[in-house]
Amino acid sequence: MSTRIAETFARCKKENRSAFIPFLMAGDPDRDASLALLNALPDAGADIIELGIPFSDPMADGPVIQQAGLRALKAGMDLKKVLGLAADFRKTHTGVPLVLMGYLNPVYVYGYDAFARDAAQAGVDGIILVDAPPEEAAEIEPLLSQHGIALVRLIAPTSVPERLELLTQGASGYLYYISITGITGAASASPQAIQGKLEQIRAATNLPVCVGFGIKSAADVAAFAPLADGVVVGSALVKYIEETRGDVAIVSAFVRELASGCQK
Please list the alpha-helical segments (H only) found in the chain. Answer: 3-14, 31-44, 63-74, 79-92, 104-110, 112-122, 141-146, 161-168, 191-202, 218-224, 235-243, 248-259
CA distance to 89, 90, 112, 140, 256, per residue, from 41 (Å): 11, 13, 29, 29, 9
Active site residue 50: yes
**Residue of 28, 47, 50, 229 with catalytic role:** 50
Q: What secondary structure, in 3-state letters, does 80-145 show?
A: HHHHHHHHHHHHHCCCCCEEEEECHHHHHHHCHHHHHHHHHHHCCCEEEECCCCHHHCCCCHHHHH
Q: Which of 29, 27, 75 is nearest to 51 (CA)?
A: 27
Nearest 10 degrees: Cα torsion 62, 64, 65, 68: 150
Helix axes 235-243, 63-74, angle to 10 degrees: 60
**Residue of 15, 30, 32, 61 with catalytic role:** 61
Q: Which of 236, 209, 245 is nearest to 225 (CA)?
A: 209
Active site residue 7: no
Catalytically annotated residues: 50, 61
